[in-house]
Amino acid sequence: MVFTDTHTHLYSESFADDRDEVIQEAINKGVKRFFLPAIDSSYLSKMRELKNAFPLNMFLMSGLHPTHVKENFQEELAVLESFLDETQAVAVGEIGIDLYWDKAFLKEQQEAFHLQIEWAKKRQLPIVIHCRDAFDEVFEVLEAHRGPLLRGIFHCFSGDLSQANKAISLGMKLGIGGVLTFKNGGLDRFIDQVDLSHLVLETDAPYLAPVPYRGKRNESAYLPLVAQKLADLTGKTIEDIAAITTENSKTVFGV
């Protein structure tokens, strides 16, 4: 079985003491493909190091996380766009709108989101969307770009079935992670009504660890726990889930 973690921050400070061991443990569990979203320019060198250390396993993205959109976002975007091309990044992400922590930069978040979608369309790359307390705002931006060049992943999808269907209609696959295993996560109530061709697996490590590790540091090695839960809910085998979601990740990222 080969699993694909479509969203993991393995370059995070949370892994400073045992990064290589964490990666090796994931590989031992069958997680062989790791897609690294960017946050801002301060993490780019660490991302590059990981790609150099594990060239066959690590795939890079570039983008400005919405919570890191501030007054200087244009300067950040210039650096991140260069990184996108220099590293032959496979996606623009993670990008989007986050109104959970701070609403002060909504206008800037919207502008940065539009601009980065344009980067992706110009290069025929997928986008990876971060959305928190902002479904309406995110969908408004996506609708403005609806078309054959718009595609990607709705990372850490936490909406309802109608929002899932809307995201899919806009060319997105749904990123399914630890929330699927949470007692009140909500996804378990309808995920069996979404065709598996629209789903990919992710951890968002070091965040959102699945049960029974909820509240602890998340790791890519925990991805099979999410896969097993998805298998249980859809009546498939974990082997089916691994194969289908990895194939879906290849469709999205082209690698």
Predicted confidence at residue 101, as pLDDT, reads 85
Predicted confidence at residue 221, as pLDDT, reads 98
Cβ count near 18 (within 10 Å): 13
Task: Walk along the chain (255 residues) in steps of 10 and give the mean pLDDT of each run.
Answer: 98 97 98 98 97 97 97 96 96 97 93 98 98 97 98 97 98 98 94 98 98 97 98 98 98 97
Predicted confidence at residue 102, as pLDDT, reads 86
Predicted confidence at residue 222, as pLDDT, reads 98
Find the angle CA(168)-CA(214)-CA(166) to the nearest 5 degrees.
10
First to last CA, the chain: 17
Predicted confidence at residue 114, as pLDDT, reads 98
**CB hemisphere CA count around 192 (13 angstroms):** 9
Domain membership of residue 177 as a residue range? 3-253
The CATH number that applies at residue 246 is: 3.20.20.140
For residue 68, which of 9, 1, 3, 152 has the smallest C-alpha distance?
9
Total domains, the chain: 1
Residue 210 · residue 224 · CB < 8 Å: no
Predicted confidence at residue 162, as pLDDT, reads 97
Predicted confidence at residue 164, as pLDDT, reads 98
